[in-house]
Structure 1
Amino acid sequence: MSENTTEDLIYMDVPAGRVVIRLRPDLAPKAAERIRTLAEQGFYDNVPFHRVISGFMAQGGDPTGTGMHGSDLPDLPAEFTSKAKFERGTIGMARTADPNSANSQFFIMFEPSPHLDGQYTIVGEVIEGMENVDKIKRGAGGSGMVNDPDRIARMRPAGAEG
């Protein structure tokens, strides 16, 4: 694990309260930089958790709420060569079937999901406030798409929360 340096911390405020994320540039330097850059720009503010599946994960990062879009920045190459595991609180980069299509969408694991290990980029982990992630409104059906979803109120790097 990387050390808790302030530059690796992101504060994400959701309806239930604050979530503290530690980015993992040691595992995924390009993805960690992307999340930090977009958070600095306020990109994630008011963005919904559009896909939330009980016992699996909460996905957000698409400002349209459809799960089909991202930022205007170019897609990222896959960064999943590490032996890191998808455990409760792990944050992964969402993508299409193309491993090199991650952009701005991310997901937070509610439970371990070994079938994702080595298949998706791990960009960080929740180090405080997982109980607030647990309260994010769930979706219906197998897709987990959420009607009237909970939104990220504000998401900023530590030191830029003013």
Structure 2
Amino acid sequence: MADAKTLVMTLDEGDVYIRLRPDLAPNHVERIASLAEDGFYDGVPFHRVIPGFMAQGGDPTGTGMHGSDKPNLKAEFSDALHKRGTCSMARTQDPNSANSQFFICFEEADFLDGQYTVWGEVTEGMEHVDALPKGEPPANPGKIKSMKVTR
């Protein structure tokens, strides 16, 4: 998967193109890409969408309490900034607890810098992320129709 370049996430609103950053977080990029290729994210909701902050998904139960059956990942923190369009891993208070959940920043969130693993950045289609139903959880959450890796 190290040669993967772009992740295409299809939402109801349209396609979101995410440039993968194996230079920052090779293990997290590998995890996201392999889960996407396995169809893990297909149909998974964005269970936490906070205006002015971020949209979080990646839990197949939609509760925010679960992930994949793969082991948690060791943190790969970098100096990458959490700005509009940044894709980063969600985790518990344990820095080494990222699994399959991720979030996309709506705006700058510099208080997250150096504490969450950045694995990509939206290059096209951020307006579709902006259009996701808001809430914690949203009454009728937006779902990932599919996620595919392109090379």
Gaps of 5+ in 1: none
Give distance in 1, aligned partners of 2:4 and 2:113: 26
Match of 1:33 in 2: 30
Whether 2:143 is the aligned partner of 1:151: answer: yes
Whether 2:7 is the aligned partner of 1:10: answer: yes
1:1-162 paired onto structure 2 within 5 Å: 7-80=4-77, 82-139=78-135, 144-158=136-150
Higher strand share: 2
Give distance in 1, aligned partners of 2:57 and 2:19: 17
The answer to whether the Cα contact below 8 Å between 1:52 and 1:58 also exists between their aligned partners in 2 is yes
User: Which residue type is aligned with residue 106 of structure 1?
Assistant: F
Gaps of 5+ in 2: none
Give distance in 2, aligned partners of 1:89 and 1:133: 9
User: Which residue type is aligned with residue 48 of structure 1?
Assistant: P
Normalization by structure 1: what TM-score?
Answer: 0.90
Moved over 3 A (4+): none
Q: How large is the RMSD of aligned CA atoms in angstroms?
A: 1.2
% identity of equivalent residues: 62
Cα shift at 1:6:
7.1
Normalization by structure 2: what TM-score?
Answer: 0.96
Spell out, residue by residue over 1:85-114, the C-alpha distance to the aligned partner (whole angstroms, 9 max, x if none).
000000000000100000000000000000
